[in-house]
């Protein structure tokens, strides 16, 4: 992946651009592989929900699993994430973001669910007054 081995550009700027391109833009095969995987990972959840061969709970677990896998597939094949991109800082930023997203999502759902559970039966304003 050296710029010298890819010497089509004449100027240093061109070499740099070519270098970036090779780093960040996989292959035709990679795009097709990602596309095929994401079609399957999209079609199966839609089929499961439209025809309902399983119970609601099992279906929910499966489609959440498929969504997680499909997000990873898109990250690898379309966004070209790897541990080396930008000296590892892209992956660092992504991991930090995932941690914040998980905390804020699960925290919000957890707190608000319990608040609803504990508030609902006692919401009689005539007695509270």
Partner 1 sequence: MSEMAGVNRDLFHLPEEPHHPEGSSTMLGFWMYLMSDCLIFAMLFATYGVLGTSYAGGPGPRELFDLPLVALNTSMLLLSSITYGFAMLNMTERRQGPMLAWLAVTGLFGLAFLSIELYEFAHLIHEGAVPQRSAFLSSFFTLVGTHGLHVLFGTIWLVVLMVQVRLKGLIPANCRRLMCLSLFWHFLDVIWIGVFTFVYLMGMLR
Of 7 and 67, nearer to partner 1 (C-beta) is: 67
- Is residue 88 a contact partner of residue 34, using CB atoms and an 8 Å limit? no
Helix (H, G, I), strand (E, B) or coil at 1: coil
Q: Give how many residues touch partner 1 by CB under 8 A.
A: 53
For residue 71, state whether it binds partner 1 (rule: CB under 8 A): yes
For residue 13, state whether it binds partner 1 (rule: CB under 8 A): yes
d(CA 54, CA 42): 17
Residues near 78 by Cβ (< 8 Å), separated by ≥ 6?
Answer: 31, 34
Of 51 and 127, nearer to partner 1 (C-beta) is: 51
CB of 123: closest distance to partner 1 in angstroms? Answer: 14
**Token digits of residue 45:** 């959840």
**Token digits of residue 15:** 């070499």
What's the Cα-to-Cα distance from 66 to each of 7, 39, 40, 61, rounded to whole Å? 42, 11, 10, 9
Give the residues lining the site for partner 1 (CB under 8 A): 8, 12-14, 16-18, 20-22, 24-28, 31-32, 34-35, 38-39, 42, 45-46, 49-50, 56, 59-60, 63-64, 66-67, 70-71, 74-75, 78-79, 86, 89-90, 93-94, 96-97, 100-101, 104-105, 108-109, 112
């Amino acid at each position: 992946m050296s710029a010298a081995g890819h010497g089509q550009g004449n100027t240093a700027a061109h070499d740099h651009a070519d270098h970036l391109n090779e780093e960040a833009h996989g292959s035709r095969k990679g795009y097709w592989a990602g596309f095929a995987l994401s079609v399957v990972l999209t079609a199966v959840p839609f089929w499961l929900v439209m025809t309902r061969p399983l119970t609601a709970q099992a279906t929910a677990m499966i489609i959440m699993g498929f969504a997680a896998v499909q997000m990873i597939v898109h990250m690898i094949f379309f966004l070209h994430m790897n541990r080396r991109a930008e000296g590892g800082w892209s992956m660092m930023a992504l991991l930090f973001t995932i941690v914040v997203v998980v905390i804020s999502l699960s925290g919000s759902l957890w707190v608000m669910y319990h608040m609803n559970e504990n508030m609902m039966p006692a919401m009689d304003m005539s007695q509270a007054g």
